Structure 1
Amino acid sequence: MTVTPSIWLIGGTSESRELAQILALNHLPCTISVTTESARSLYPSAPLLQVWVGQLEGDRLQDFLSSHQIIAILDASHPYATTISHLAMKAARKYNLPYLRYERQSINSSHFPQEKAIKNDKILSLPSFEALIEGDYLAGERVLLTTGYRTLHLFQPGQERYHLYARILPAVTSLEAALAAGFTPDRLIGIRPPISLELERALWQHWQITLVVSKASGTPGGELIKRQLATELGVKLILIDRPALAYPHQTDDLSAAIAFCRTQLCDRLGDTSLPQN
């Protein structure tokens, strides 16, 4: 059986779904990797689009690259999913594969001038979760964590000291991690993003939240909504900075990412082998 050379699109974000849709419309062969079966349904069904589910560790990565005839890597993973990005960059170097990081723009005060206009000092950026915990910023607060289930274990030692709530994905893995970290069911809510401003506001007010901890994940991650509500409600907002990775090539331009895929496929297959729109 002949396998068509393919782009490896690292999924897990709304941007990766958008990229997948455009690649499908352009009939560009693509294999999307995601870590959970539930994520499969988030991507379009198309003849040249495949969704691979699992963890790419050890020999599985080499098998994946070979079996799917990967010729280039488009990394659209979550900004905080550093493990898969490190793995992809290492594979790009080892197997001489072109690599492009596609990442959502970060947000600063210029995106949200209301903060500056009212001299809002309740929105704080910290370099890491360690800095958050070591700085004891949570004392005396009713804290909502919207940082994902993988970080919840960091807060387990503080369950006796702090009043902690968490918003997680409605998945068994997320719930198990939250319960293992000491969260009781009445302090958990399972919702899949995106979260509307109205729903976010209602949740904060229902739990009488005074401090929200989130990742600086940009507009697709709901950061603008959290900034707006923090300003509106006078709630403290702590944003954990994105990890700093030395990507060899990076863009936030959707058209540039698609052009990268087309160029790599054209170089391998030739222009006549790819449908033109």
Structure 2
Amino acid sequence: MHVCIFGGTTEGRLLAEFLNDYNIKTDLYIATEYGEQFVKDLNNVTVHQERLNKEHMIELFQKYNFDFVVDATHPFAKIVSQNAMESTECCNLKYYRIVRETVENERAIYYDTVEDIVNYLNNVEGNILLTTGSKDLDKFTKVSNYEERIFIRILPMESSLKRAIELGYSNKNIICMQGTFSEELNVAMINAVDAKYLVTKESAASGGFDEKVMSCIKTNSKCLVLKKPEEEGVTFVEFKQIIRGNV
């Protein structure tokens, strides 16, 4: 069996480790060098650090005889998922989308788009701890006085830091750290920057979501959550059952 995985996520890493344990030849494609360091010492897994568009995926699938392709990319990486789905259809390959199991927390406030969150923040006062990553930093520059109000927590990657600075975020408001973060650390950060709002993306427990919500409750701040896109697929547990049934 030969499997192709897309994803520099926790699910992608766990899938690679699972397939490695079953001695299944696996090619794992991740977008950043940063994610590569978390997948090590897997004899049956080859890690490729490169971004592939639809044409590149088709070329890849035509070159290698994969039994199936697993999309374990981030729920908000919609373009990558769309390309992977269309490429597998074109090459007549089996495609599995790994979906995250999330439970809505009634103590958080949910929004459909970044623009909805920005509109809300423009009608309130107070500092903001932004934990949605570097991808949407440009959209949050629409928040009034964002240079002073917004404190961003991003991965310790040169590209992310450079992007933040180029967009005008204040150097003193940039926190470069790798999560996940405990409730206690979130509380400390919220208090340190005097944040009245924490902005995050909807995620599974592995993303430290509940810890963020609880830290907001303890600091009397509001947790603003960007909903993940609706999608169909199989869970990590269900996919493991599929593999066990095929080996």
Correspondent of 2:235 among 252, 265, 275: 252
Q: Per-residue deviation at 1:258?
A: 2.4
> Is the CA contact (8 Å cut-off) linking 2:54 and 2:87 kept in structure 1?
no
> Is the CA contact (8 Å cut-off) linking 1:72 and 1:99 kept in structure 2?
yes
Q: How does 1:16-55 map to 2 (within 5 A)?
A: 16-55=12-51
Q: 1:128 to 1:48 in 2, by over 3 A?
A: same
Which of structure 1's runs of 4+ aligned residues deviate more than 4 A? none
AA partner of residue 126 (structure 2): E
Number of the residue aligned with 1:154: 139
Q: How does 1:92-131 map to 2 (within 5 A)?
A: 92-109=88-105, 120=107, 123-131=108-116
Higher relative contact order (CA 8 A, sep 6+): 1
Q: Aligned partners of 1:159 and 1:178: how far apart in 2?
A: 16
Q: Per-residue deviation at 1:126?
A: 0.5
CA RMSD of aligned residues (A): 2.0
Q: 1:22 to 1:58 in 2, by over 3 A?
A: closer
Number of the residue aligned with 1:80: 76
Number of the residue aligned with 1:142: 127
Instruction: Using structure 1 for the length normalisation, give the TM-score.
Output: 0.82
Q: Per-residue deviation at 1:137?
A: 5.1
> Is the CA contact (8 Å cut-off) linking 2:187 and 2:216 kept in structure 1?
no
Number of the residue aligned with 2:216: 230
Q: Per-residue deviation at 1:160?
A: 2.7
Number of the residue aligned with 1:132: 117
Q: Per-residue deviation at 1:214?
A: 0.5
Residues 34-77 of structure 1 show CA distances to partners (whole Å, capped at 9, x for unaligned) of: 01122222113233211111110153222322344323111111
> Is the CA contact (8 Å cut-off) linking 2:128 and 2:196 kept in structure 1?
yes
Correspondent of 2:58 among 46, 59, 62: 62
> Is the CA contact (8 Å cut-off) linking 2:118 and 2:142 kept in structure 1?
no
AA partner of residue 76 (structure 2): Y
Q: Per-residue deviation at 1:212?
A: 0.7
Q: Aligned partners of 2:17 and 2:159: how far apart in 1?
A: 27
Q: Aligned partners of 1:50 and 1:159: how far apart in 2?
A: 46
> Is the CA contact (8 Å cut-off) linking 1:7 and 1:261 kept in structure 2?
no
| Residue 168, structure 1, aligned to residue 161, structure 2 | no
Deviates more, 1:208-217 or 1:8-17: 8-17
AA partner of residue 72 (structure 1): F
SS in 1 for 2:41: coil
Q: Aligned partners of 1:96 and 1:66: how far apart in 2?
A: 10
Instruction: Using structure 2 for the length normalisation, give the TM-score.
Output: 0.91
Q: Aligned partners of 1:159 and 1:180: how far apart in 2?
A: 17
Q: Aligned partners of 1:40 and 1:65: how far apart in 2?
A: 22
> Is the CA contact (8 Å cut-off) linking 2:184 and 2:215 kept in structure 1?
no
Q: Which runs of 5+ in 1 are unaligned?
A: 110-114, 272-277
Q: Aligned partners of 1:29 and 1:204: how far apart in 2?
A: 44
Q: 1:75 to 1:138 in 2, by over 3 A?
A: farther
Q: Aligned partners of 1:215 and 1:137: how far apart in 2?
A: 19
Q: Per-residue deviation at 1:226?
A: 0.8
AA partner of residue 48 (structure 2): W
Q: Aligned partners of 2:151 and 2:64: how far apart in 1?
A: 42
> Is the CA contact (8 Å cut-off) linking 2:32 and 2:50 kept in structure 1?
yes
AA partner of residue 61 (structure 1): M
Correspondent of 2:200 among 214, 237, 255: 214
Q: Which runs of 5+ in 2 are unaligned?
A: none
Q: Per-residue deviation at 1:253?
A: 4.2
